[in-house]
Structure 1
Amino acid sequence: MEQRLIRRATALTAGALALALSTSCGAEPAGDGEGAAAGGGFPVTVETVHGDVEIAEKPTDVVALGWSDAEAALALGVQPVGLSDWQAYGGKGVGPWAEDLLDAEPADLGTMEVSAEAVANLDPDVVLNTRSDGQESTLSTVREFVPVVDPPQGVEVSYGTTWRQQMTQVSLALGEVEKGEELIADLEARFAEVAAEHPEFEGRTVAVGAFYGDRLGAYVPGDSRVDFMEELGFESKPEINDLAGDEFYVDLGLEEVETLDADLTVVFPIGMEAAELADNELLNSIPSARDGRLVVLDDPDLVNAFSSGSTLGIAHALDEAPQVFSAALGD
């Protein structure tokens, strides 16, 4: 479903792809475990869905191909030499909350069809692919000449690596475990702080969806947006969860729009203007919309931050989104 959705969104606009798509530690150091945990012991072994990946020395040239892997590396102080711009930012290929961390513009290697030759020309020490489709065949040629760090063991949902898992995988691979643990702890504390400020979120059901063309969809647990809401105290609508398979996105027809009805409904547009979505008669017919509990995210930066799944992007979203959600609930 992920592949179909990306292709459909790409047919709309390049920017739509970013918005269309897009649980804890899955990697532990092997061998010199204490040295790796201290932040610098190599070699390290990263456990992935495709088996163990050994990284002999601390990487200096890093290619980041997974969704928001580049931002994870930057948060750790590591400059990627190449990346995949999944959210179609353009420019430096990362969100505005991360641009200032880049010393130079990385090579944009594309998303769905990454050239192995282009990767090889950058002569990387490691390729980060932690939030991805999880298919070993996707980078089969690249795997022949460089270690590829895929999603951790236990991730069964396409693009379902959580921000904690991503930071754990990336920090281990780059020899920055201590820094990674600090970033995880800091963001957890921030989530706890915001949740405490908004007790009205606790136990309320939420549906997070996107509209694209004549289709719509709902995100399910395993998607970073749903994880964001659950960390704030919301509960993903059970009826949506029941539709989930091994994808993080349930594809729906417009006639199924009431599936998105919940205590709070959060949607954003793909390939259309937010104003057009806000005026959509079908969307406005569901009970949550009629009661004023519908949020149409219309700020592209907030949509991208909410969808990023990176520690940097999530922190940015936490500065703005909770107030918007609270206002819609009217509490």
Structure 2
Amino acid sequence: MHLRPNLAPSSPARRPRALRAVAIAVFATMAAGLTACSSSDDNSSSSSGSGGGGTFPAKVATKFGDVTVKEQPKRVVALGWGDAETALALGVRPVGQSDWLAFGGDGVGPWAKGLYKKSPQKIGTLEPEYEKIAALKPDLILDTKSSGDQKRYNTLSKIAPTIGVPKGGDQYKTSWEKQTRMVSSALGIADKGKSLISKTEKKFEKAKAAHPEFKGKSIVLGSRTSVGYGAYVHGTGRMDFVERLGFKSSPAIEAKAGSAFSVTVSRENLDLLDADLTVMSPIGLTAKKISGDPLYRAVPSVKAGRDVVFDDETLSSAFATDSVLSVGYALDKVVPVFSDTLKNPKPLKD
């Protein structure tokens, strides 16, 4: 079983056999005139700061082919992991969104606090609630970081133009850069997206220059759930984050990597978590379940005091979300923790 980040997607997400029936029900409901929020909703993009100054028609390349957005979207639904935060960073407030990490409230992390005027309608994650989406009468659906499932895309695209995952973006591997580029293009504000990307890249460069101790160091980014341990692989948001800082993914973990975004690490092989720096996130359990585990404590890097176990859910979530907003927060809050651990390791006492 593959690792699941904080209420994260399975890999790949499984679709119910009744998907076709759900789609039919969606379209029948739409035809019957489902009641939805009016276009004057506080979260409509016409009042969000994007105004009517976008460039249209806008064309976005996806795994499923090019998608053309003919005019300024006024009712955006954001379903993919981090899509809502990306839209918010660009000044557009979705009328509906999925809350992948169960933040509650507006469904976004503290780095996006206060960006909504009105809380969006919450939509399911692994299996979107198609009737609910249809009821919102969207004119654009964002799903750039999801399973990349064809049936999911087909159903959504019959409701509204849908920006699905990019080529190579299956299994939730869409980077925050690609996500920002795709979302900003779909919203007709590609230049604003480029500016956001440039500012964030400069922040990474500044952090990398300030921490030469990261260069060439191997790192394992892992987690423990109720079903066991796992580690993330190259090509995922978490690994992209640390690789930009100069770290390299553990060769032992990469040797086990397949097409999924993580690999399972059995209790008998926890030494696979060994690296110059080991970083672990508890998912659905306490940090003590990791740090107090005798087998985990026996991992060489852990014994040497070169490990980080997130006991702050906000830090863990910032690291997991990998949106253009959350990575900036993580650079400010997480990087100093990594640096202190490498510079001042605290070996375990027998």
Q: Which residue of structure 1 lines up, in the alignment, with residue 82 of structure 2?
A: 68
Measure, in 2, the Cα distance between the counterparts of 1:19 and 1:166. Answer: 17
User: Distance between the aligned counterparts of 1:272 and 1:67, measured in 2?
Assistant: 22
Correspondence 1:145-294 to 2 at 5 A:
145-155=159-169, 157-294=170-307
Which SS does the other structure have where 1:233 is aligned?
A: coil
Note the alpha carbon deviations across 1:273-327, whole angstroms, 9 max, x for none: 1123211111110000011101101111000001111011111111111111111
Q: Indicate whether 1:326 and 2:326 are aligned.
A: no
Distance 1:248 1:223 in 2: 6
Matches within 5 A, 1:102-181: 102-155=116-169, 157-181=170-194
Mapped pair 1:17 → 2:7: yes
Question: Partners in 2 of 1:258 and 1:233 — Cα distance?
Answer: 23
Q: Distance in 1 between matches of 2:181 and 2:193?
A: 6
How far apart, in 2, do the equivalents of 1:214 and 1:236 lie? 24
> Which residue matches 2:24?
none
Pairwise CA distance, 1:18:
4.3
Structure 1 residues 71-106: Cα deviation after superposition (integer angstroms, max 9, x where no partner): 000000000000010011011101111021111100
CA distance in 1, matches of 2:145, 2:115: 21
Distance in 1 (CA, whole Å) between partners of 2:283 and 2:64 is: 33
| In structure 2, distance between residues paired with 1:165 and 1:185 | 13
Is the CA contact (8 Å cut-off) linking 2:75 and 2:95 kept in structure 1? yes
Q: TM-score, normalised on structure 1?
A: 0.88
2 CA distance for matches of 1:311 and 1:254?
35
Give the aligned residue type for 1:135: D
- Cα offset for 1:268? 0.9
In structure 2, C-alpha distance between the alignment counterparts of 1:326 and 1:20, rounded to whole Å: 31
Please state whether the residue corresponding to 1:78 is helix, strand or coil.
coil
The residue type equivalent to 1:252 in the other structure is: V
CA distance in 1, matches of 2:199, 2:54: 21
Which whole-Å CA distance do the structure 2 matches of 1:214 and 1:135 have between them? 25
Q: Structure 2: which 5+ runs fail to align?
A: 12-52, 345-350
- After the TM superposition, which residues 20-39 of structure 1 pair with which residues of structure 2 at under 5 Å, given as runs? none
Identity of counterpart residues, as a percentage?
45
> What is the CA-CA distance between 1:20 and the residue it aligns to?
8.5
Please state whether the residue corresponding to 2:294 is helix, strand or coil.
coil
Q: Which amino acid aligns with 1:142?
A: L
Query: 252-261 or 69-78: which moved more?
Result: 252-261
1:246-297 Cα offsets, whole Å, 9 max, x none, are 1111122222211110000000101111123211111110000011101101
**CA distance 1:19–1:43, shift in 2 (3 Å):** closer
Deviations 1:115-157 (A, max 9, x none): 21111111111100001111111243221131110111233x4
Q: In structure 1, give the amino acid aligned to 2:99.
A: D
1:64/1:84 contact within 8 Å kept:
yes
One-letter identity of the residue aligned with 1:330: K
Equivalent residue letter for 1:188: E
Does structure 2 retain, via aligned residues, the 8 Å contact 1:41–1:175?
yes
Between structure 1 and structure 2, the one with the greater Rg is 2
Shift of 1:328: 1.2
Match status 1:81 vs 2:95: yes
Secondary structure, aligned partner of 1:267: strand
CA distance in 2 between partners of 1:158 and 1:98 (Å):
25
Pairwise CA RMSD of aligned residues?
A: 1.8
- Alpha-carbon distance in 1 for matches of 2:326, 2:182: 18
Residues of 1 paired with 2:330 and 2:119: CA distance? 24
Q: 2:71 aligns with which of 42, 57, 78?
A: 57
TM-score (norm 2): 0.83
- Distance in 1 separating the partners of 2:207 and 2:335: 8
Tell me how far apart the structure 2 counterparts of residues 129 and 159 of structure 1 sit (CA, whole Å).
Answer: 10
| Structure 2 residue matching 1:101: 3-state secondary structure | coil
Is the 8 Å Cα contact of residues 9 and 126 (structure 2) preserved in structure 1? Answer: no
Distance, in Å, in 1 between the alignment partners of 2:68 and 2:156 is 15
Residue pair 1:127, 1:146 contacting (<8 A) in 2 also: yes
- Aligned partners of 1:215, 1:145: CA distance in 2, in Å? 39
Kept after mapping to 2: 8 A contact 1:203/1:234:
yes
Q: Quick one: which of 101, 106, 113 aligns to 1:99?
A: 113
